[in-house]
Amino acid sequence: MREIVLDTETTGFNPDQGDRIVEIGAVELFNHVPTGRVYHQYINPERAMPQEAFEVHGLGDDFLRDKPVFAKIADAFLTFVGDARLVIHNAAFDMKFLNAELGWVKKGSIPWERAVDTLAIAKQKFPGAPASLDALCRRFGIDNSARTLHGALLDSEILAEVYLELIGGKQPDFALGTAGGNSRSAQSGEEFWKPYRRPNPLPARITEMEKAAHAAFVEKLGSGAIWTKS
């Protein structure tokens, strides 16, 4: 099962009011194990950065001026994401922005049901407890000391660790199939291992001599032998 842990940074809170994405960071998981593949892109929002947003992520107009606009990176982003599930903290926020940006460049939107919201998982698992990314790092003993400002790639890397703890720890799920094989089947949204059917049955390991010896042995036992009963 392929999943993408994803985070964005933006100019504000509402794309309907002209706010834009300025950074995307994403980490690939396969069967809940990081593969080492990441996606990271700064984006020119084609508008001025509000001071309030700059104080959150530190991405200013001068830094973003020579970065590509979203239309130039949309295809590369969609290729990296593919059809994987998207693991996002407060998924409604990021999905709203991603689909707004994709809509503006005439790309298909990402279905909302593909998003796994770690904020919702944390609130359900720890009712009433703080559920911010920093709070969950403290709960699980995850080092987030490098997080002096919000950054999409760093936050997605931290979120990947948090997500694995939320779903039961860092132990992989022991799916015994291989990537791309047909040994796993989806049931209720989860992946379960199933053995392959052999294209050719294994040859018998009993020789003809052994068969004959066994038949002679059974014959000596008479009609009461269990092997003669169906």
Which residues are designated catalytic? 150
Residue whose pair of structure tokens reads 């709070």 in the numeric block: 135
Which residues 6+ apart lie within 8 Å of 182 measured at CB?
Answer: 196
Yes or no: say if 116 and 88 are a contact pair by the CB < 8 Å rule: yes
CA quadruple 123, 126, 132, 134: dihedral, nearest 10 = -160
Element (DSSP H or E) covering residue 110: none
Q: Which amino acid is at 87?
A: V
What are the backbone dihedrals phi and psi of residue 186, each rounded to the nearest 5 degrees, phi first?
Answer: -85, 130
